Structure 1
Amino acid sequence: MLGFPFIFRGALDVRASKINEEMKMAAVKALAALAKEPVPEQVNVAYGQTRLAFGRNYIIPKPFDPRLIAEIPPAVAKAALESGVAKEAITDWEKYKDILRERLGSDNKLVRLLLSRAKLSPKRVVFAEADQLAVLKAAQIAYEEGIAIPVLLGRKDTIEALMAEIDFEGDIDIIDPKTDEENNRKNRYAKVYWEQRKRRGVTLYAAQRLMRERNYFAAMMVNEGDADALISGYSRNYPSVVKPMLELIGKANGVTRIATTNVMMTKRGPMFLSDTSINIDPTAKDLAKIAVMTSKVIKTFGFEPVIAMTSYSNFGSSDNEKASKVREAVSILHRNYPELVVDGELQTDFALNDKMLRDQFPFSKLVGRKVNGLVFPNLDAANITYKLLKELNEADSIGPIMMGMRKPVHILQLDASVDEIVNMTAIAVVDAQNREMWELEKDIS
C-alpha cells in the first residue's frame, strides 16, 4: 500500500505500457534506502515520536513522509526506461524531482530553496537554548543536513543526555557559560562589553555577571567572531531576548529602527508581513523604513517586492491620523524610492484582489501586480494577522526575521516548532552569507 500511489506516478510520467517486476523492485529498493535516512521532524511529530530511526521498530518509511513523492516515482520511472516499457524519456532527473516536490505546495519549494542556499556555505550558529529538546533537535537536523555548524549553549550534562536520547552524534561544541572552565572567555567578553557601556552605568563586575547569562554570552560570541549567527527565544518572551541583542549587537550602520517580518506560506504564494514583533505604533517615517527593509528581505528570497501599505482606509478615504500616517509613509517612499513597487494606504482585500483594485483604483501602482508584502500600521494589526493566518489557515510561517541588526541575530517565537527553528537557522545562515558577501564587495571596491 505504501508504494502503490508512487509506483503509478512514476509509471504515468514516462507513459509506461505496463508495470513490470523491475519497476516494483525499484520501488522496494528506494523504500528500503529511504528508511535508513534521517527521518524529517514533521514525521516524528505526526507519529508522536521523539526520534524515529532505522531499526526493529522502524523498517519502512511512514506514509506521511514527504520525501516519498520525490524518491519512489523517479526510481520507478528509471526502471521503466531501463526495462524498455517507457514511451517517454525523462532527461533531467533533478528537475523531475522538483516538479514532484511542488505537488506538496509552493511553500515547500521556498523552504527547499532556503535550505539549499544555506547548505552552499554553512556557518557557525550558536543555539542559546540548546538544553531544550526542540532546539536541540533543530540543531541536529541543521548539522546532519549540512545547513549549519551548531554551537550549543546550556548545561553540558543536560545537553549530552538529550543528545544520547535522540542519537545526535558529531564533533559539536557544547558551552556552559556558568562553568569555571569558561571564565577566561567570560572575562574577555565582559571587558569588551564594559568598555562599550562603562559610561552608561555598567560596571566591570556587572558585565562579568551578565556574561553568565546565555543570551549575553551568545551575543558576545557573535560580536567577537566566535560564531557567525545566533538563534534564541524559544523559552523566553520576545522583549527579554531582544533587550540584550540591542545592547550588545546593536543596529546596522545607517539604521535607526529595527523591525521584523514573517513569511507566511499561503495559497497565493509567500507573503511577507511586517512588523510582527517590535514596533508598537510606528510613525510615518518608521513605516517607510520598515517597507524598505522588508523589500530587501523579499529580494533575498528571490522575489521582486510588491508591497501594500495597509490601513482601514483607501487612498485618503479617511482623514484620521491613523490612516494619514500610512499615507505619509507612502509619499516618503514614492519620493525617495521611486523604483520600489509600493502603494497605499489601502485595505487588505483591495491589496490582494487585483480586480477590485483595478475597478475602484485603476491609478494604483499595484494594479496588475501580485502583492507579496504587507506593511501594517501598527504591531496589533501585524501580529494578529499573522497569527490568524497561522492558526485558521494552518499557514506555515518563517520568522520573525529580524531586520536592521548589525549582525545575524534571529529570535524565535515562544515555543516554536522544530521545523520553524530549522527554517530560522537557515535564515540566520543565509543572513551571515549575505553579510560576508557584502564585506567582500566593500573590500574589492
Structure 2
Amino acid sequence: MTNETCKLPLKLDLFATTSRNQEILLEYIKQETLIFTPGDRSDLLLGATFSLMSDSVPSMSGIVLTIDTLPEKSVRKLVDGFHPMPLPIISTKEDTLSAVRKVDNMYPRILPDDQRKIASAIGLFSQCVDVNTFLEKMKVTKSKLMTPRMFEHFLIDKAKRHIQRIVLPEGTDERVLKAAEILVRRNVADLAILGPKDRILAAISSLGLELDEGQVDIIEPATHPSYKKYAEIYYDMRKHKGGTLDTAYETLADETYFDTMIVYMGDADGMVSGAIHTIQDTIRPAFQIIRTKPDLSIVSGVFFMCLSDRVLVYGDCGVNPRPTSEELAEIAIVSERTAAAFGIWPNVALLSYSTGPFGRGEEVDRIKKAVEIIRKRCPEMKMEGPIQ
C-alpha cells in the first residue's frame, strides 16, 4: 500500500492495538512510533494517516496491518492518494502480538548504504572515544593517494576540528534536509537552514528526520531581525547601478541573496547551494556582494570527481566557457590551491587535444601560453601541459 522508497527510521517505539479507539491511539503516539493494528481497523488507519498533517502530533514511523486483512477498497484508495506517501504501511499474516514480538526480537544491522545509521554510529563513536588518542596508539602510514572514503574522512575531521556556521538556502529540498541530519549527527557544523519555516518543519516531519530547532536554526529572510539592515547595506552596494531600496528588499527576500549577505556580514562562515539552483544563480549573489580577492580577476569553480580509487579536481568546468590564456593560468593556480586545501596532493595538467610542444592550432596555442604564464608566476608548481 505504500511507496517503495519509504523506509523505517533509526529508532522505533512499538505500539500494538486491537480494540482501542482513535482518541486513545493519538494519545499514545510518540515520535517514531510503529503502529500494529488489525487490517480491518479502517478508523485507526485513517486517524493515524491524517495525524501526519498535524504539527501538534508527533510523527510516527509506520503502520503494520496484521491478521492478513486489508481495509475496504475505498479506504485503500483514499490512503493511496497521498503523494508522496509519508510513511510505510505494511501488511502481514501474523496476528498483532506475534508481529510485535517478531519485530521486537529483530537483530539490528547497519547496511553499507544506510547513511543515516552510519552517521549516527560514527557520531556516537566520536562522542564516546578520544579519536586522537586512539590514532596515536595505532601505526598510521600516510599516503599521497586520496580515495573517496579518505577524502570524506579528511573533510569531516577537518570540519569537526574547527566548527563553522554554514547556511543552507535550499531548506525545502529533501536532499538538503537529509544531509543536514547527517551533519548534525556527526557534530560537523553549526547549521542554519533558510526557507519557509512551516514547509521545512513539515518536510522534516514527513521524512522522519531527527532535526529540531534546538539543533539547527530555521530562518525566513523576510522575518529575520537583520532583514532590514541587510537590505539597506545591499542597497548602498547597488545604488550606483540604479537600484532602489524597494528593489533591495525584494532581492534580499530570495534565500540565495539573503544567505550570501549573512556570510558577507560575518554572521556565518560559508554557504552551500546548488541542489536546486543553477551555478549562475549561486555565484551571481556572491559576485555582486562578496566579490573576488584583490589579486584575482575572475570567478572560477572546480568539480571534485570521486573515482573508485582516487579523487580528481577538474577546473573550470562550469563557470567560464572559453577562458583566455591569462584566465586559464589563474584558474590553474587557484584550482591547485583549492586541491591542496582539501587534502589532495596537486599535480596539475592543462588539458588539450594535443600533447607537448608540437601541436598546432588556436586551442593548443592558448594552453601553451597559459603554461608559460604559470611557470613565471608559480615556478614551484608541479604542472604539465598541454596534455591530451
The TM-score bracket by the shorter chain reads: 0.5 to 0.7
Is 1:311 the counterpart of 2:311? The answer is no
Structure 1 position 305, deviation (Å): 1.6
Match of 1:293 in 2: 334
1:64 corresponds in structure 2 to: 112
Q: CA deviation at 1:209?
A: 1.1
Match of 1:77 in 2: none
Alpha-carbon distance in structure 1 between the residues aligned to 2:170 and 2:344: 33
Residues 117-156 of structure 1: pairs in structure 2 closer than 5 A: 117-156=158-197
In the alignment of these two chains, the number of paired residues is 272
What is the distance in 2 between the residues matched to 1:51 and 1:119? 29
Which residue of 2 is the match for residue 167 of structure 1? Answer: 210
Structure 2: which amino acid aligns with 1:157?
Answer: D
User: Which residue type is aligned with residue 61 of structure 1?
Assistant: R
- The partner residue of 1:253 within 258, 270, 294 is 294
Indicate if the aligned counterparts of 2:184 and 2:215 stay in contact, CA closer than 8 A. no
Deviation at 1:224, TM superposition (A): 1.0
Displacement, 1:50? 5.2
Are the equivalent residues in 2 in contact too, given 1:127–1:151 (CA < 8 A)? yes
Equivalent pair of 1:50/1:166 in contact (CA under 8 Å): no
Query: Superposition pairs for residues 223-302 of structure 1, below 5 Å?
Result: 223-302=264-343
For 2:242, give the aligned amino acid: G
How many Å separate the matches in 1 of 2:275 and 2:344?
29
Structure 2 portions without partners, runs of 5+:
15-102, 122-132
Q: Counterpart of 1:52 in structure 2: which amino acid?
A: P
Q: CA deviation at 1:317?
A: 2.9
**Whole-angstrom CA distance in 2 between matches of 1:62 and 1:98:** 28
Deviations 1:348-387 (A, max 9, x none): xxxxxxxxxxxxxxxxxxxxxxxxxxxxxxxxxxxxxxxx
Given the alignment of the two structures, is residue 176 of structure 1 paired with residue 220 of structure 2, yes or no?
Answer: yes
Paired residues for 1:247-396 under 5 Å: 247-347=288-388
Q: Cα distance, 1:96 vs. partner?
A: 9.5
Task: Output the CA distance in 2 between the equivalents of 1:212 and 1:189.
Answer: 10
Residues of 1 paired with 2:254 and 2:107: CA distance? 43
Q: Which moved more, 1:132-141 or 1:59-68?
A: 59-68
- Counterpart CA distance in 2 for 1:342 and 1:173 is 44
Q: Which residue of 2 aligns with 1:116?
A: 157
- Counterpart of 1:53 in structure 2 is 10
- Partner Cα separation in structure 2 for residue 115 and residue 192 of structure 1: 34
Conserved? CA contact 2:148–2:309, under 8 Å: no
Q: 1:202 to 1:59 in 2, by over 3 A?
A: farther
Q: CA deviation at 1:65?
A: 5.3
CA shift for structure 1 position 228: 1.4
Cα 1:343–1:113 shift into 2, 3 Å: same
State the 1:226 CA deviation. Answer: 1.6
| 187 and 284 in structure 1: CA distance in 2 versus 1, 3 angstrom threshold | same
CA contact (8 A) 2:355 2:387 kept: yes
SS, match of residue 356 in structure 2: coil
Secondary structure at 1:259's aligned position in 2? coil
- Alpha-carbon distance in 2 for matches of 1:267, 1:172: 33
Letter in 2 for 1:309: L
Distance 1:161 1:316, change over 3 A: same
Given that 1:51 and 1:166 are in contact with CA atoms closer than 8 Å, whether structure 2 keeps it comes out as no
Q: 1:284 to 1:50 in 2, by over 3 A?
A: farther
- Whether the 8 Å contact between 2:181 and 2:210 is mirrored in structure 1 is no
- Sequence identity, in percent? 26
1:59, distance to aligned residue in structure 2 (A): 5.1
Contact 2:166 2:192 in 1 (8 A): yes
1:126–1:231 Cα contact (<8 Å) kept: yes
- For structure 1, the residue ranges without an aligned partner over 5 or more in a row are 1-46, 72-91, 348-445
- The DSSP-based 3-state class of the residue aligned with 2:330 is helix
1:187 equivalent among 228, 237, 247: 228
After superposition, residues 389-404 of structure 1 pair within 5 angstroms as: none
1:177–1:212 Cα contact (<8 Å) kept = yes
Letter in 2 for 1:269: R
**2 CA distance for matches of 1:328 and 1:230?**
35
TM-score using structure 2 length: 0.64
1:208 corresponding residue in structure 2: 249
User: Helix, strand or coil: the match of 1:122?
Assistant: coil
TM-score by length of 1: 0.57
Question: Is the 2:167–2:193 contact (alpha carbons within 8 Å) kept by the matching residues of 1?
Answer: yes
CA positional deviation for 1:245: 1.9
Structure-2 separation of matches of 1:97 and 1:168: 35
Q: State the Cα RMSD in Å.
A: 2.7
* Higher relative contact order structure (alpha carbons within 8 Å, sequence separation ≥ 6): 1
Displacement after TM superposition at 1:238 (Å): 2.0
Q: Distance in 2 between matches of 1:60 and 1:118?
A: 30
Mapped partners of 2:175, 2:138: distance in 1? 29
Query: Displacement of 1:49 after TM fit?
Result: 4.4
8 Å contact kept, 2:352–2:386: yes
CA distance in 2, matches of 1:97, 1:215: 45
Structure 1 residue 158, shift from structure 2 partner: 1.1
CA 232–50 in structure 1, closer or farther in 2 if over 3 Å, else same: farther
Q: 1:50 to 1:202 in 2, by over 3 A?
A: farther
Distance 1:167 1:97 in 2: 34
Work out the CA distance in 2 between the residues paired with 1:330 and 1:227.
37
Residue 198 (1) aligns with residue 239 (2): yes
Name the CA distance, whole Å, in 2 between partners of 1:114 and 1:98: 21
The answer to whether the 8 A contact 2:151-2:343 is kept is no
